[in-house]
């Protein structure tokens, strides 16, 4: 006879992950729309702080392209998953996928062209 599952194990089995300190540290990839309407793709473990750094001009690659807007983000439990996603989105296939994923927004700002 199997031992009954603990409440934590029941959550895991259902696909819900308990909010323990271990899982509160998420990793993010984010997309910023820059002043010239180009997109910037980045990675961070603290999205709010990183966005504030960008807005204050504290990030060299975006400081001359203010104002900017956060238009998309994804979060991951594992750092390597987020970094792999960021790397993919920076490829031509990844840019194509991203443009399709946020096509409604890109159309709204006049940056999307149907293929």
Question: Residue for token digits 């990793």?
Answer: 27
Report, at the CATH architecture level, how domain 21-108 is classified: 3-Layer(aba) Sandwich (3.40)
CA-nearest of 54, 30, 50, 58 to 42 is 30
Check if the beta carbon of residue 73 is closer than 8 Å to that of residue 47.
yes
- Write out the H or E segment, with its range, that includes residue 33: strand 27-33
> In which band, very low, low, confident or very high, does the pLDDT at 3 lie, cut at 50, 70 and 90?
confident
Two structure tokens written together for 105: 């927004």
Two structure tokens written together for 97: 């996928």
CA-nearest of 94, 99, 46, 41 to 70 is 41
The whole-model pTM stands at: 0.76
Going from N- to C-terminal start, the domains of the chain cover 21-108
Check if the beta carbon of residue 84 is closer than 8 Å to that of residue 41.
no
Q: For 8-22, how does the pLDDT look when each residue is reduced to its tens digit (9 = 90+)?
A: 667 666 666 655 555
What percent helix, strand, coil does the chain show, rounded to 5? 45, 20, 35
Question: Residue for token digits 């994804």?
Answer: 74
Q: For 42-98, how does the pLDDT look when each residue is reduced to its tens digit (9 = 90+)?
A: 999 999 999 999 999 999 999 999 999 999 999 999 999 999 999 999 999 999 999
Q: Which residue has the higher pLDDT, 13 or 100?
A: 100
């Amino acid at each position: 006879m199997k031992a009954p599952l603990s409440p934590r194990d029941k959550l895991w089995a259902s696909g819900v992950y308990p909010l323990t300190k271990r899982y509160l540290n998420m990793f993010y990839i984010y997309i910023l729309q820059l002043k010239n309407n180009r997109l910037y793709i980045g990675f961070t473990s603290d999205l709010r702080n990183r966005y504030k750094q960008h807005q204050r001009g504290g990030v060299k690659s975006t400081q001359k392209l203010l104002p900017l807007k956060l238009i998309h983000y994804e979060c991951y439990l594992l750092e390597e998953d987020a970094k792999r996603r960021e790397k993919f989105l920076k490829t031509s296939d990844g840019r194509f996928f991203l443009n399709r994923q946020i096509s409604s927004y890109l159309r709204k700002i006049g940056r999307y062209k149907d293929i």
